[in-house]
Structure 1
Amino acid sequence: MLHSNSRTASQQAYEEIRDRILNGEITGGTKVVEEKLATETGFSRTPIREALRQLTNEGLIVNKKVVQPSEKDLRNLFQMRILLEGFAAKTAATYLPEQDLETLANCIKVGREGTPEEIMEANELFHQIIVNSSGNSHMIETIDRMKSIIYLFRKTVVLYKRPQLIDEHEEIYKAISQQDTEQAKELMEKHLQADLDFCLHILNVSRN
């Protein structure tokens, strides 16, 4: 199998294994074997090992076995994200550089006009800018460790076209640009709760 050089081999291996876990191709409880994954994906052992290390840090692999997050796990993880990103939105509304505000506005534009892949990237960047505005390295690292689960939600809301998704981004952007801290916090919390509710509905339908 040939792979693009646009991203590192370890990043490509990470994305491929992550997607196979999240879409159910590699089921919960499956023992992870480096040699087997290397043969199946066409990557060498080193990028596979690095990818598995990252997936372990993110909690998708525990004791060399794949974890299948339960609905309770997803709710708990998202509850943490709601708390952290709500706070981050409040911080962003206190002060966000003009360049970052312009990037948020562009993310909204891409969200309305882009391809699904572009919308996914814009969605990620929108939230990343707001989280990074906190300046809190512990918060940023915590969100980063949830990256795989967040990716699952982001992919679901984009591919299944969750209603009002980009409208909510625009409302959050306006609150931040107007330095309305409480409104920004409240809107972010409601936005993420709506993401969670929509995704759990889609995931439950797909499993039944």
Structure 2
Amino acid sequence: MTEQQPAQQLRSPSLVQLATDAIRRMILAGELAEGERLIEDRLTEQLGISRPPLREALRVLEQEGLIVNRPRRGSTVATLTDQDVFEILTLRTALERLAIELGVPVKDPHRLEVAQAALAQMQHCADAEDRGSLVQAGYRFHSSLVALAGHRRLEEAYASVQQQLLLCMARNLYAREHYYEDLHEHVARHRKLLELVEAGEAAAVLAELAVHGERSFSDVQSRAGNSADSVS
């Protein structure tokens, strides 16, 4: 790479895919905030691409539900209301609890390999402070726990809210890191969960999930509210 080619610029036959991945990571890392307008000139310069592949990447992200395109307003990062978050995370908890009830103790040890690989990727992302990729690895980790049940329709139901879950997990990661949990502590929480799964203690896994999912998000939101009250 020459001095005229910034490290952030993209060079690949698949510029659309790379642009999609790069913008997705920026959204999940909080570098592009909820409701923020996506300025094409800024993104083409930042990523080193022309408008056509950028616009195609934005269309892909719109289909995923990560961005919204409105007439005369252009593309903005999708926004979740508190009710959206409540519905998404309570659904996630219900699906994960069912998966644990059906899948732990784990009958096929090979199913654990996906979870172990996802946890290793989470550790790598935390070391690199790559928050966007950490959120995606975190989703793969939770998805792999759902897969322990060997229940195709359950996996499909979980996958159907993937992008919404990613947005919730990104918001939760940002809030946790801001108030009380660094990236490595975030990974450690998931490592504890996997250790309980590997031990075959379904009741212990369910107890950990109870404080790992929407309850932990509520705790973060409560801390944020208290902090805002103390400032106002």
SS of 1:97 mapped into structure 2: coil
Change (3 A) 1:186 1:117: same
Whether 1:101 aligns to 2:112 is yes
Question: Aligned to 1:193, which of 180, 199, 214?
Answer: 214
2:3 counterpart residue number: none
Task: In structure 2, list runs of 5 or more residues that go unmatched.
Answer: 1-5
Deviates more, 1:163-172 or 1:51-60: 163-172
Shift of 1:16: 4.1
Q: Is the 8 A contact 2:28 2:167 kept in 1?
A: no
Whether 1:9 aligns to 2:20 is no
Q: Is the 8 A contact 2:88 2:161 kept in 1?
A: no
TM-score by length of 2: 0.61
1:62 counterpart residue number: 68
2:35 counterpart residue number: 28
For residues 178-200 of structure 1, the C-alpha deviation after alignment (integer angstroms, 9 at most, x for no partner) is 43444433422321134413543
Deviates more, 1:107-116 or 1:145-154: 107-116
Larger radius of gyration: 2
SS of 1:62 mapped into structure 2: strand
Within 1, Cα distance between the matches of 2:22 and 2:43?
10
**Letter matched to residue 135 of structure 1:** R
Within 2, Cα distance between the matches of 1:27 and 1:145?
14
1:79 counterpart residue number: 90
Change (3 A) 1:50 1:199: farther
1:139 counterpart residue number: 157
Within 2, Cα distance between the matches of 1:110 and 1:13?
22
Question: Aligned to 1:173, which of 183, 194, 200?
Answer: 194
SS of 2:83 mapped into structure 1: helix
- How many corresponding residue pairs? 206
Change (3 A) 1:141 1:128: closer
For residues 120-143 of structure 1, the C-alpha deviation after alignment (integer angstroms, 9 at most, x for no partner) is 275444223213334334224224
Change (3 A) 1:93 1:14: same
Change (3 A) 1:4 1:163: closer
Within 2, Cα distance between the matches of 1:104 and 1:24?
27
The share of aligned pairs that are identical, in percent, is 18
For residues 77-135 of structure 1, the C-alpha deviation after alignment (integer angstroms, 9 at most, x for no partner) is 22222222232333331535323435545627974996144992754442232133343
Question: Aligned to 1:130, which of 140, 145, 151?
Answer: 145
Change (3 A) 1:122 1:138: closer
Where do 1:45-60 residues align within 5 Å?
A: 45-60=51-66
Within 2, Cα distance between the matches of 1:96 and 1:103?
14
Q: Is the 8 A contact 1:175 1:184 kept in 2?
A: yes
Change (3 A) 1:201 1:59: farther
Question: Aligned to 1:38, which of 37, 44, 49?
Answer: 44
